[in-house]
Homo-oligomer: A and B are copies of this chain.
Amino acid sequence: MLPTTNPAPPFALTRASHVSLGVTDLEASRDFYRDVIGLVVTEETNDTVYFRGLEEAAHHSLVLQRSDEARAHRVGFRVRTDDDIVAAERYFSDAGIEHERVEKPYQGPTLQFTDAVGTHVELTSSMQLVERRMQNFDEFVAGAPQRIDHFQVVTHDVQTATDFWAGLGMRMAEFTAKDGTDELWGTWLEVKGNTHDLVFTNGRGPRLHHFAFTVPDATALLHAADVAGALGFGGEIDRGPGRHGISNALFLYLRDPDQHRIELFTTHYQFIDLEDQPIRWEISNPRRAQLWGLPASRRWFFEASEFPDEAVRDPLLQATPETLEEFLSIH
């Protein structure tokens, strides 16, 4: 069933903002994101490293936390003002949704909650400002990632996840559905005016499939791959370079030392006007997964990062043997 975007959401979400990951070898992971991906280290403490993209003025968009287990700790979104944090708190209380105000360094008022399918989320209304480095071209490394863009979450229940976030004001830009039905197998949701800020796909979940940063162009994408190869991470590309049918992204996916997955991509299109309709892709259409090239690896299809202490459930929609192959090429 297609979701209905709330035209008057309870609080104002503005964009995907940051992700925090538990990593088992902090120094190895720091080196990976700095040297293989090209993110800027904003700050480094004994047990935490804060990164941002080259153009970002916010203190961090990726936070690595020294941890015993490799887990996706939390995905973060921005709300417009401090008042939106208060409104969100009230809304979650009224709706009986688990949430908690927390203190987070370099962040304004911060609220954590768990969405309807178990995704661990954090909202904040501001961050400490730091210098944009987008014109420090001499410091560009590897893919020269500019900014965080979106998250993709594998969920056992795409419909419920989608309805939850549509209720918070997100619009669906594209979706996959079982042929001839409105049974949702994947949804691309946005709030910042282009293709997606949050993606849900059908599978064992909740698990964070990947977080994505934009890169300047196709050449940067390939340079990231070349640098990964040169630094011994060539085998950690588990998909791409390729072109998704859905969203039109030119993509490259890499696994970090704990097997968390980062996407580098280009080619968002604008999605602002209210008359724009979501693009529908039948599951039977192989072009949704990629317009050309080789299929993704099995690692890409089946591996993702769990959230701490969050049970992973089997998907409500089961791929039958004859659709498994199709399913494999959905996402």
Contact = CB atoms under 8 A, between A and B. Distances in A.
A217 interface: yes
Contacts of A237: 292-294
A40 to B, nearest CB: 14
Contacts of A127: 273, 275
A87 B318 CA distance: 49
B81 A274 contact: yes
A141 B139 CA distance: 9
Nearest to A149: B270
B269 A137 contact: no
A179 B140 CA distance: 31
A292 B234 contact: yes
B147 A270 contact: yes
Contacts of A129: 275-277
Name, among A57, A137, A234, the residue most crowded by chain B CB atoms within 10 Å (CB to CB).
A137
Interface residues on A, range: 35 or more
B273 A225 contact: no
Interface in A49-73: 55-58
**The 3 nearest A-B residue pairs measured at CB:** A229-B291, A234-B292, A217-B217
Interface of A: 14-15, 35, 55-58, 78, 80-81, 126-127, 129, 132, 134-142, 146-147, 192-193, 216-219, 222-223, 225-231, 233-235, 237-241, 243, 245, 248, 250, 266-267, 269-270, 272-277, 287, 290-294, 297
Given A134-B248, A226-B243, 15 more contacts: A58-B273, A78-B273, A80-B274, A126-B274, A134-B267, A135-B229, A138-B231, A192-B272, A222-B243, A226-B291, A229-B290, A234-B291, A234-B292, A240-B293, A241-B293
29 contacts: A14-B273, A35-B138, A55-B248, A55-B269, A57-B273, A57-B276, A58-B273, A78-B272, A80-B274, A127-B273, A127-B275, A129-B277, A135-B229, A135-B291, A136-B230, A138-B141, A138-B227, A192-B193, A216-B218, A216-B266, A222-B243, A225-B292, A225-B293, A229-B292, A234-B292, A235-B292, A240-B293, A241-B241, A294-B297
